[in-house]
């Protein structure tokens, strides 16, 4: 059944919201785009005369597609080389969706997206729809074909896995640059103590190279251990530069709503180090160097305003 211009407009009006839901559920911008496109094909094929509420119908279809992808993704990640981390997304990317409340910003942070990997597929859906998009438990129950009380129980379990007692530091362009600049100075000046002071006592560092770029395969924990690791990581060598294809410029950026160190060679982003900053210090560092997960960031970076580099050539 051919789509009318009104029906196409209905879908396009929902596209950004659908992408934002799918990204939070899948942790991958490219997979989210695929899920939304599959939703469009189902919208095109449906008997739309019987669809009373298009937004609800599209959300339900998208959610079921994501549930299927989550099942297969978990199987793929069992054979993934090293630690799997979400795909980073730059500030201003519509894939982030609404970030006008603390809960919505938190739901798309790299740290929380990584924590959501611990949730079951249903827990992840309930948490995202409730926490980031404000769906009622009744609406979520209809989407998942569950009872409302069951959804409430699932949401409570998910919150227990996700919620931390730390207060996250809000990041804007000026504070981000200051945080990243201070972090870079501490990581590159050879003095471990200042770096330890910037980190929370139980800070963790995780890297994802996808088997294509060497990255630590297990998390590093503890301020002193993380500081020593970072000191070695930030020490430039010809071997490291050969590996990534040159001498990157180092920028401060906002990624998934938080401060990040962005490594760029020409117009190509070769690494993103996301810093999860709390009142206790930097509590988590997620480093993405898998080139497959940096393609979207590279596209947006080349067309965005990102200021002068903090380091001209690392």
Give pLDDT tens digits for 75-102: 677 778 888 999 999 998 989 988 877 7
C-alpha 65/C-alpha 60 separation (Å) is: 9
> pLDDT tens for residues 255-285?
999 999 999 999 899 999 999 998 899 999 9
C-alpha 170/C-alpha 231 separation (Å) is: 26
Q: What is the mean pLDDT of residues 213-239?
A: 92
Contact 94, 106 (CB under 8 A): no
C-alpha 267/C-alpha 26 separation (Å) is: 27
Q: Which two tokens stand for residue 141?
A: 């129950």
> pLDDT tens for residues 128-147?
999 999 999 999 999 999 99
pTM: 0.91
Q: What is the 3-state secondary structure (H, E, C) of 148-193?
A: HHHHHHHHHHHHHHHCCCCCECCCCHHHHHHHHHHHHHHHHCCCHH
**Where does the pLDDT of residue 1 fall: very low under 50, low under 70, confident under 90, or very high at 90 and above?**
low
Torsion-angle region of residue 172: left (phi > 0), alpha (psi -120 to 50) or beta?
A: beta
The phi and psi torsions of 313 (rounded to 5 degrees) equal: -155, 110
């Amino acid at each position: 059944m051919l789509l009318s211009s009104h029906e196409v407009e209905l879908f396009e009006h929902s596209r950004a919201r659908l992408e934002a839901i799918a990204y939070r559920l899948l942790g991958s911008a490219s997979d989210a785009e695929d899920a939304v496109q599959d939703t469009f094909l189902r919208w095109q094929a449906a008997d739309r005369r019987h669809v009373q509420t298009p937004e609800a119908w599209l959300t339900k279809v998208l959610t079921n597609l994501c549930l299927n992808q989550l099942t297969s993704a978990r199987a793929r990640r069992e054979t993934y080389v090293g630690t799997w981390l979400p795909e980073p997304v730059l500030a201003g990317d519509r894939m982030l969706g609404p970030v006008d409340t603390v809960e919505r910003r938190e739901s798309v942070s790299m740290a929380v997206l990584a924590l959501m990997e611990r949730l079951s597929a249903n827990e992840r859906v309930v948490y995202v729809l409730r926490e980031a998009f404000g769906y009622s438990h009744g609406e979520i129950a209809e989407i998942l074909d569950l009872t409302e009380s069951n959804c409430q129980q699932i949401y409570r379990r998910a919150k227990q896995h996700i919620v931390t007692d730390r207060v996250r530091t809000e990041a804007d362009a000026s504070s981000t640059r200051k945080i990243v600049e201070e972090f870079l100075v501490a990581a590159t000046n050879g003095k471990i103590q200042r770096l330890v002071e910037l980190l929370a006592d139980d800070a963790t560092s995780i890297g994802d190279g996808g088997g294509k770029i060497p990255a630590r395969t297990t998390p590093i924990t503890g301020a002193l251990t993380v500081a020593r690791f970072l000191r070695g990581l930030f020490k430039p060598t010809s071997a490291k530069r050969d590996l990534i294809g040159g001498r990157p410029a180092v920028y401060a950026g906002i990624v998934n709503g938080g401060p990040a160190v962005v490594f760029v060679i020409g117009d190509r982003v070769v690494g993103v180090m996301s810093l999860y900053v709390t009142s206790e210090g930097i509590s988590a560092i997620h480093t993405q160097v898998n080139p497959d997960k940096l393609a979207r960031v590279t596209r947006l970076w080349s067309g965005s305003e990102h200021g002068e580099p903090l380091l001209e050539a690392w």
